Amino acid sequence: MKGKKIFLGLFILSFLSACTSPTAMLGPAYTLSTTGNVFQASLSYGSNQMITAYTGKTPLENIKEITLNDQKNIQKETLESEEFHILVKKNIESTNKILGPINQ
C-alpha cells in the first residue's frame, strides 16, 4: 500500500513537473497553511510578483546572482590585499622559527 502511494506520488510529480506557474504559489500557500495569516501570504505573493515584474528575474535568481558576485569579489579582494600578504608572511616566519631547530 505504501509503495503504491509513493509510486503514485512520483508519477503525479513527474507528470506535473512542467507546470512552473503554480509553483510560484507554493511559498505563500505554505505560509497560509502554517500560519493561517492571509495578509502575510498575500504580501509574500505580491512582493514576489512585483520583484519579478521589475527585474525580470525571480527573487531566488536575484539572490543567487548577488551572492555569487559578492563572494567572488570578496575572495579576489582578500587575496590581493596587503594585509593578507603580511599575515601569510608572519605565519610563515613563525612556523619557520618553530620548525627551524627540528629540521637542522
- Mark whether 52 and 64 lie in a shared domain: no
Statement to judge: residues 51 and 37 lie in one domain: yes
Provide the pLDDT for residue 79: 79
In a domain, 2, yes or no: no
Compute the C-alpha angle 17/15/22, nearest 5°: 45
Going by pLDDT thresholds of 50, 70 and 90, the confidence category of residue 89 is: very high
**Over pLDDT 90: what percentage of the chain?**
3
Q: What is the mean pLDDT of the chain?
A: 75
In a domain, 73, yes or no: yes
Identify the top-confidence range among 20-24, 34-38, 60-64.
Answer: 60-64
Which single residue is written with the C-alpha cell 507528470?
15
Query: What stretches of 1-81 show up as alpha helix (H) in DSSP?
Result: 2-15, 26-35, 38-55, 59-80
What total number of domains does the chain contain? 2
Domain of 43? 23-56
Q: Does 102 have pLDDT greater than 70?
A: no
Q: Would the pLDDT of 39 be above 70?
A: yes
Q: Is the pLDDT of residue 22 over 60?
A: no
Q: What is the pTM of this model?
A: 0.39
Largest Cα–Cα separation, the chain = 74
